[in-house]
Every structure is written in C-alpha cells, then in structure tokens.
C-alpha cells in the first residue's frame, strides 16, 4: 500500500431519497396502513445494550450516523449509532429498516456481516464485523492489487443482485479491507430491492449514473433505473483507484450532472488499453449498452 493525497475533499455522502419508494401510487390504502403499523426489526426487544460493549474509539461518521470500534468478549466489532431524532426529523424509518433487512439477509465473504442490532430511547445500534484496514478511501494500491479488489467487488455485487437487491452507493468509503486483505462491501443505507425499476434520486454525486440524474430531472417521463447503476459506479470506482480522482468533477452540482450525462472520459496517453476498455464498458451512458457482471468478470483486464 502506498501513500496518497486526498482524492475528494470532503468525502461525499449519499443524497437522501427525495421521496418514499414504499408509498407510491401502486400501493393500496391497505398497504399504506400496514406500513405505518409495522414494527421495525431494529425496534424489537433485544438482550443486548450499549453496556455490553467497551467503546474504544470513533472510526467513521456518516450523514446520520457515527461508527465506533467496540469490544465484547475479547472480540472487536464496528458499532454504528443512528440518532433517533435525525431519523424522525428526516422520515428515515423505512430507510433504516431496509438497511437492517437487506444487510441481515446477505451472507457472503465479500460483504460486511450485520451481526446484531438493538436500540434504546435515543439511538439505534447496528453491530457489524470489524474490517481492520478500514475503507478504500484515501488509500492507494498497486495496479495488480486494484485488479484483485475490483474482482472481489464484482463477485459481491453479483451476489447482491442475485439476492434481489441494488446497492446504489458503491464508492471507496463504503468498501473495506480486513487484516487479510479480504474486500468487504458495507453501508446498505441506500440499497433497495430490484424487483421493479426505481426513480429515487439517491447515491453519491460523483458516482451517480446518467439514468439516476435523468430520472431526478424528468421523473414523470423517466422509465426508472435498475441494478445497472451499480455497474456504472464500479467503473467510476476503478477510475478513481487508478487516478486518485473521479472522471466527472465540478464544484457546481448542475454542471457536474451535465458532464456525467454528456461528456466522454479522458484517459491518459499511457493507460493500458484493457483498462480503458473495461472502464468504457462500465460507463456506457445508455445502461442497455453497459456490460453485465459476468462479462466484466471475464474481461481480459482482470485475467492476471
């Protein structure tokens, strides 16, 4: 692992969904009533409490959460704290519920395991496995190591899609490394089911695909997007790991979105042709032209 300057200052966090996808016009009145009566899994009674853990130090912070390294019975875990006041203020109950439901169903070598969850009067607590080397953000790797990382990410995303979900927020801050250099995808707060096309404007601006942006600007005429948004994000991720920056940067959000939808990527003259081809297959503006995960896993760029 090599030293590196910061690629994005500050780290961008995901955009809160503009509307509640569970309360669309397709839902019946009975569905809405059942949703509002629902007892969320993180609200169920648990024998665990914050007093069962020794807080060691803060290791992360999100838009509505903080993450601490904690210890219990000589084992280390990551403890994510979500403030109930923020959840109530921004109407995030269903979003937190999805995060718990989805991550608890995913059991894969390359996905951060959600071990348990509980709550008290002020906070919701998610206990996950601890990845000792932290996230990929602000780290630099050799090109061969980057290929290993991307291959593990592709394998995890393939599993997530097969399980019926979209991640929607693939970026360095949400991908972690264990002591043994096993890649783990985490942070499922922006994830959802992929059984129907989505229109929610969410994700991280630098990593948003053109179809997410187009849906946000023309929601009444947009057909929605699907799991191919994760493939776009993998292309952006690979570009950033190689170049320490994302391909479409602009301090003006509207200009950045326009660049994502209209501009082609500029590569370095000495870039590997296989690297260029892999990126271009991920970053097709038309999602129907984007490579699928099987094609990417078989791509010559990753055959090393």
The pLDDT tens digits for 241-292 are 999 999 999 999 999 999 999 999 999 999 999 999 999 999 999 999 999 9
pLDDT in tens, 201-249: 888 999 999 999 998 877 666 788 999 999 999 999 999 999 999 999 9
Q: What's the CATH number of domain 143-302, 3.20.20.70, 1.10.510.10, 3.40.50.150, 3.40.50.720?
A: 1.10.510.10
Kindly report the pTM of this predicted structure.
0.85
| Pair of tokens at residue 30 | 């009975």
Report percent pLDDT > 90 for the chain: 75
Output DSSP code: residue 179.
T
Where in the chain are the domains? 39-129, 143-302
Residue 174 in marked binding region: yes
Active site residues: 169
- CATH T-level topology, domain 39-129: Phosphorylase Kinase; domain 1 (3.30.200)
Q: Residue 226 in 3-state DSSP?
A: coil
Helices within the chain (DSSP H only): 29-37, 84-89, 93-105, 143-162, 210-217, 228-243, 253-262, 273-282, 293-297
Q: Are 156 and 296 in contact (CB under 8 A)?
A: no
The residue to which tokens 């229109």 are assigned: 199
* Cβ-defined contacts of 288-297 (< 8 Å, 24+): 290/228, 290/231, 290/232, 291/231, 292/231, 293/154, 293/157, 293/158, 293/161, 293/231, 294/158, 296/154, 296/231, 296/234, 297/151, 297/154, 297/155, 297/158
Report percent pLDDT > 70 for the chain: 84
Residue 74 in marked binding region: no
Residue 89 in marked binding region: yes
Residue partners of 178: CB distance under 8 A and separation at least 6: 131, 132, 133, 184
Q: Which of 233, 232, 211 is nearest to 223 (CA)?
A: 211
In total, the chain counts a number of residues equal to: 304
Residue 18 in marked binding region: no
């Amino acid at each position: 692992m090599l030293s590196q300057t910061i690629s994005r200052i500050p780290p961008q966090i995901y955009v809160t969904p503009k509307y509640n996808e569970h309360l669309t016009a397709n839902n019946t009145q009975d569905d809405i009533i059942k949703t509002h009566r629902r007892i969320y899994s993180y609200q169920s009674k648990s024998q665990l409490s914050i007093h069962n853990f020794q807080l060691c130090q803060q290791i992360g912070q999100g838009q509505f959460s903080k993450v601490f390294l904690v210890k219990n019975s000589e084992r280390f875990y990551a403890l994510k704290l979500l403030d109930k006041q923020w959840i109530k203020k921004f109407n995030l109950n269903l979003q937190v519920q999805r995060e718990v439901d989805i991550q608890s169903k995913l059991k894969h070598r390359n996905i951060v395991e959600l071990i348990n969850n509980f709550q008290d009067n002020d906070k919701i607590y998610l206990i996950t496995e601890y990845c000792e080397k932290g996230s990929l953000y602000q780290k630099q790797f050799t090109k061969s190591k980057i290929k290993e990382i991307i291959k593990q990410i592709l394998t995890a995303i393939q599993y997530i899609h097969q399980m019926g979900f979209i991640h929607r927020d693939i970026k360095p801050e949400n991908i972690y490394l264990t002591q043994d250099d096993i890649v783990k995808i985490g942070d499922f707060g922006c994830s959802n089911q992929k059984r129907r096309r989505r229109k929610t404007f969410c994700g991280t601006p630098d990593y948003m695909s053109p179809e997410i942006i187009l849906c946000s600007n023309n929601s009444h005429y947009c057909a929605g997007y699907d799991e191919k948004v994760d493939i776009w994000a993998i292309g952006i991720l690979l570009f950033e790991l190689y170049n320490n920056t994302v391909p479409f940067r602009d301090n003006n959000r509207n200009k950045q979105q326009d660049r994502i939808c209209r501009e082609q990527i500029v590569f370095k003259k000495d870039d590997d042709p296989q690297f260029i081809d892999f990126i271009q297959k991920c970053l097709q503006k038309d999602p129907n032209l984007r490579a699928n995960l099987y094609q990417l896993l078989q791509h010559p760029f990753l055959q090393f």
